Structure 1
Amino acid sequence: MKPIIGITADMDENTYKLKQDYVSAIEKSSGLPLILVPAMDNISQIADFIDGLLLPGGDDLLPEYYGEDISVPLEKLKFVKKERSDFEIAILKEIAKRQKPVLAICYGMQLVNVAFGGSLYQDMEMQVKGAVNHKTGQHAIKIDESFCSIFNIPQSAISSQQLVSSSHHQAVKVLADGFEVFAVSEDGIIEGFYKKDYPFFICVQWHPERIFYDKLSLRIFKAFIEKSRR
């Protein structure tokens, strides 16, 4: 049986939506994707039903989630609907209670950090001196070797200057307790962290689903599905 992977959907005024790359990456890794839409009355039942949770990319989290007011020009911000974020935080915490696998990508990583007490830079260009361009194209990251051994990812799957596909203007400022950084960009921005003492809980700021042919991206998704199967 293929493990069922819940993927949370984005929202606009009248439509639920999800980029195809997330679904394709789960299918290619031998998982069965199930698109989740906000259903606050069924959180516990959903958490029981799925085998793993994928939190995909999106726009910006409201600063109220991490105890701040808007501190940059409003035109730099585009907020995810609160209905989506509230649902994702609720389902995330139920999944965490059950110790089921979690993979969080871009906005998903930021949401995890905030859900467990961390904070964000509202705009790196304004708030991080010397920040490289994270909005478009690729940039290099450095990965801690211990991460590979913990999650059974061969060293051959990464390079000394690992290139990743990136499109974000917010980032982790203060990391939530209980998580460990395993990847940073050349400007010091946190690009990946994982939860200690947990079967599989990996959060990445880049988009591994876009470059699925990349060895590291492939191994992350494969490990996620393998842990979800168990």
Structure 2
Amino acid sequence: MANIHFHPNHDLLSRYANGELDSASSILISAHLEFCPHCRQKIAAIEAKQARILESSESATLTPSLSAMMLEIMAHEPAETIIEEVTDCELTMEDKTYPLPSVLQRHNDKIGPWSRLPGNIKRAQVEVSGDSKMNFIYMDSDSSLPEHTHQGQEITLVLAGEFYDESGTYKPGDFIVQTDEHTHLPRTREGQDCLCLTLLNAPLHFTSGLATLLNPFSQLFFRR
């Protein structure tokens, strides 16, 4: 999508390509890649570079004749094609439906029921391994999450609709990373809702007005 302005950085993409990320982070990047041809090209370039390095390393340990034979086989051997059946799955929110990212379509049984949060926000937990917490977050029209910062890292992937904060407007495919250096107030405009997939490795910390009274209950955003 041409309107994607926020992407995983090169380090995250490299670790994803190398299989070094935890499963939850990999799910989020896989979902972003469904939207983003720019990052798909970056992943392809990283993998091609890795293949050249591996080929060079292996060739250096082979005799010249064996090396030539291996290169000939690699040049003519057709790549194996693996086809997996994917079942179309959707999230239903009141009278609206949203397609699930392909990476989650075979694991829709890991998605919990929807619950309400402050600011006319709804949340459905996604069961993932590790200590980080993954959630679908639905912001209805003209809604907002109380202003907050982060005790750790929060990654948000916009799946449908849009939201905005002090730093900009975020649309489908945008991959937004927030840390304890950021304070923001996410909200939607009148007539515009938003569905996101988020990953937290620590609770939120509310920073403004009466919302600070919620801090003793911030585990609501971080519980299983």
Interval of TM-score (by shorter of Structure 1 and Structure 2)? under 0.3
- Return the structure number with greater relative CO, CA threshold 8 A, min gap 6: 1
TM-score (norm 1): 0.26
Structure with max Cα Rg: 2
What's the TM-score once normalised by structure 2's chain length? 0.27
